[in-house]
Structure 1
Amino acid sequence: YKAGSINASKIESALASLAKTIECARYSPEWSEKYNFSQIDCEVRGLLFVFNHDNQLQHDFYEFFNPPKPAKGRRDKAVNLEKIPLSAGQQIHIIDPFLINYMLAITNDMNDLIAKKEFPDEEYGFYYPQLTFHKVAVTEKYLPATIEVLSSPFMVIKHGAVYKFNRAKGIEEEVYPEGFVVYYNKKGNSDNEFFYLLDILSNYQILDGINKIRIRLAYREKDERILSHFQRGVEKYAHEYGLDEEAKKRLEDLDVKVVSTVKEFFSAEVISWEPK
C-alpha cells in the first residue's frame, strides 16, 4: 500500500476477513490435511502484514485504532474492533510498516556482520530462556523466531563461533567467538530503559562474562543521546547491585552500536506495470 491508501476502513476490512478465515481454518478438514502435518492439536492465528511501499506513512500505525485528538475539528475514523468477528482465545498479529523496517534493519546488520566474518552463516537462532519459554524444556540449540519475539522491545540471537579456512595451515581457525546479539527496538530516551534491559539480560543468565555480547540499537527514531543513556544505565545498574570492578568492567565493555534504519522503496510506476 502507498501511505494514502492505508486507512481505518481498509484495516478493519482486512482484520474482519482474517477473523473469518481463522474460524474456517479451525474446523476445516481440508485445511488440517494440507497444513497440520503432525496431526496434533494446533492453534490457528491470523497475521496482517501491512507494507507501505512508498515509505510515506509518518505516524504510528496504531493511531488508526486510537486517533489522536486534532487541534481543530473531529478525530479521524478509528478501526472499530467490535466489528471484528474474533472468537474468544483467537489471535491476530499485525506486522506494521515500522516493524517491517525494523526487521529490514536487523537483516541488513546481520548480513554486514556475516560479510565481516563476525557472525556465522548458519549456526544461530533466537534465544528463549528456559524460565520464559512456555515452561517447557527445549533441546534444540538454535530456535526460530516467534511473532511475539519479533514484535517485542528487544530480541536475543544466540550464535556459534565463526570459522575461516586457513589455506596455509590447511585447517579451520576460529576468527570470532560464540555469543549473543541483542537487538533493541525502543527509543532509548532514558537510562532506566537500559537499566531494565541489563536486569532482564542478567536474569537470562547471559551477562556472565563468558560469552561475547553485542547490543544493537535499532529503533527507527532513536534518542540523539541514546549512547549516553546506555552508559548511565550501566552506571546505575552497577551501583544498584553493588557490582565489583571486574563485573562493572564487563558491562562497560559490552559492544554497543547504533544500527541504521533500512527502508525499501518501490516505484509506483513500476508497480503499475507489474502483471496482476
Structure 2
Amino acid sequence: MPENDHIARQAELVASELFSEFFWEKVGPTNHDWPCEDQQRHEVKTHPCDVVYYYDEPYSPLRTYVHCDLKSYAKGTIQQAAVKAAAESLAKQIACADRSDDWRRLHVHEHVTYSVCGLLFVYNHDGEYEANFQSNLLGIDPEKLQLPKGARLFVLGPKEIFWLDNIRSEVQRMRGKRVPDLPPPEYCSYFHPQLIRRANLQAEKAKAATLETLTSPIIILEHRDPRGGANRGVVVFYSRPGETSDEFMYLIDTLRKYELLDSRTSVVIKTLGASPISSPTFQKAQQQFIEGLAGADVYTDLGGYVDNIRYEPMTEIRSTYSTIDLGTWE
C-alpha cells in the first residue's frame, strides 16, 4: 500500500475508535464507489463512500445514517480550497444517497424510517495544525451546495476531533482503573434532555451521542449502577475555557434545568486545556450559585447537590499513528 494510502488510513482508524466510544455503529461496505444518480448535474459517474455510521435519534422515531468523507491532512495541506472542494463533493454524495437504491441497499436497514446526513472529518495527522480551521469554511456558500431540502452536512476539524478523541481516551481511562469510575458500556448512554418542545421519545434505545451533541460545548455521559441500584452518575465534558464564574454558574444552572442535580446523582465536570484558574473559578461559581438560592447561611437540598459537584481538568492526550506501523498491518 503506498504511503499516501497509509496516511489516509489514519483518519479511518481515528474515526473508528472515536465514534465507537460514542455508540455509533458501522453499516455496509467501506471505501467503495456507487453510481451517481445525477451525472449531468454532478459531472461524475460514481461517488465515493469512505464509511457509513448510524445511530437512533432521541427526539424522533428516526435512524440517522452518517455518510462520511474522512480526510487525513498534514498541517500545510489544510487549505480553504481543499476543504471547500471536499464539502461540495460530499454535498453531491448526500444528494445522491438520498435517492439511490444502490446506496440504500448497501447501507440502510429494512423497515426503518431514516435520514441521511454528511460528515466531513478533517484529521490533522501530524498534529501541528494550530490555525483557525473555521476560516476554511468561509468560502462555502450553503445556498450553493447541492443538498436536498432538509439534509444536513457537518464538518469536524482538527480542534473538534482532538477534543472528541480526548473524551474517548478519558472514558476508557475511567473505565479501566483498578476501581473503575465508569461501568461497562452497556450501562452507559449519552444524555439527551427532556426539552419543553422536544420530548425524548427513545430514551432507552437512543444511547448514542448525536452529531448535534458532538458539536455542542456540553457532552454528558450518563451511567447507571450495574447492580440495579437507583443511583446514577453523570460525567459532563465541557469544552469552554472556564475563565469566569458566570460561565460556570450558567453550566450549573443548565444541569439544574436538565434535572441532573438530585440526591441520587453524582456529577463530575471535566475540561481540557481550560484556563489555569478554572478550578478556583469553578469553586467560586459553586459558592455564588449556592448563596443565590437562599443566602450563604441557609442550607437547601439543591445547594447541597451543587456543592457535591466535582470539577476535574483532564490530562491532554494526542493520538498518533505511524505510517510504517500501518503498512505492516496489510
Alignment of 1:53 with 2:125, yes or no, is yes
Instruction: Please give the secondary structure, in 1, of the residue aligned with 2:189.
Output: strand
Which of residues 177, 192, 210 is equivalent to 1:128? 192
Alignment of 1:257-268 (within 5 A): 257-267=312-322
Please name the residue that 1:16 is paired with.
Answer: 88
1:83–1:57 Cα change, 3 Å: farther
Task: Confirm or deny: 8 A CA contact 2:84 2:136 kept in the other structure.
Answer: no
- 1:209-228 equivalences under 5 Å are 209-218=263-272, 221-228=273-280
5 Å-filtered alignment, 1:188-267, equals 188-218=242-272, 221-242=273-294, 244-246=298-300, 247-267=302-322
Aligned residue for 1:45, secondary structure, equals strand
**Paired residue for 2:165?**
104
The answer (yes or no) to whether the contact 2:243–2:278 under 8 Å persists in 1 is: yes
Between stretches 252-261 and 17-26, larger displacement belongs to 252-261
Deviation at 1:138, TM superposition (A): 2.6
**TM-score with structure 1 length normalisation?**
0.81
Deviations 1:45-98 (A, max 9, x none): 1100000011111122102234xxxxxxxxxxx445565333442211111111
Asked if the contact 1:12–1:80 (Cα under 8 Å) also holds between the matched residues in 2, the reply is no
The structure-2 alpha-carbon separation of the partners of 1:26 and 1:4, relative to structure 1 and needing over 3 Å to count, comes to: same
Shift of 1:155: 1.1
| TM-score, normalised by the number of residues in structure 2 | 0.68
Structure 2: segments with no counterpart, 5+ residues: 1-72
- Is 1:65 the counterpart of 2:119 in the alignment? no
SS of 2:114's partner is: coil
**Residues paired across the two proteins, number:** 251
Q: Which moved more, 1:21-30 or 1:39-48?
A: 39-48
Give the deviation of 1:6 after TM superposition: 0.6
- Measure, in 1, the Cα distance between the counterparts of 2:194 and 2:304: 27
CA RMSD of aligned residues (A): 2.7
Can you give the 5+ residue segments of structure 1 that lack an aligned partner in the other structure?
67-77, 164-172
- Cα distance, 1:110 vs structure 2: 1.3
TM-aligned CA deviation for residue 118 of structure 1: 1.5
Distance 1:275 1:159 in 2: 35
Per-residue deviation, residues 160-189 of structure 1 (Å, max 9, x unmatched): 2267xxxxxxxxx99xx6311111111111
> What residue in structure 1 maps to residue 201 of structure 2?
137
Please tell me the residue identity of whatever aligns with 1:186. R
Alpha-carbon distance, 1:41 to partner: 4.0
Aligned mates of 2:241, 2:99 — CA distance in 1: 42
2:208 maps to amino acid? P
**SS, match of residue 148 in structure 1:** helix
Equivalent in the alignment of 1:95:
156
CA deviation string 1:3-35 (max 9, x = no partner): 101100100010010110011111112222222
Q: Using the TM superposition, give the Cα deviation of residue 255 of structure 1 relative to its aligned residue in structure 2, in angstroms.
A: 1.7
**Does the CA-based 8 Å contact 2:243-2:277 persist in structure 1?**
yes
Q: Which moved more, 1:52-61 or 1:25-34?
A: 25-34
CA distance in structure 1 between the partners assigned to 2:279 and 2:324 by the alignment: 40
User: Do the aligned residues in 2 keep the contact of 1:12 with 1:81 (CA within 8 Å)?
Assistant: no
Q: Name the counterpart of 1:75.
A: none
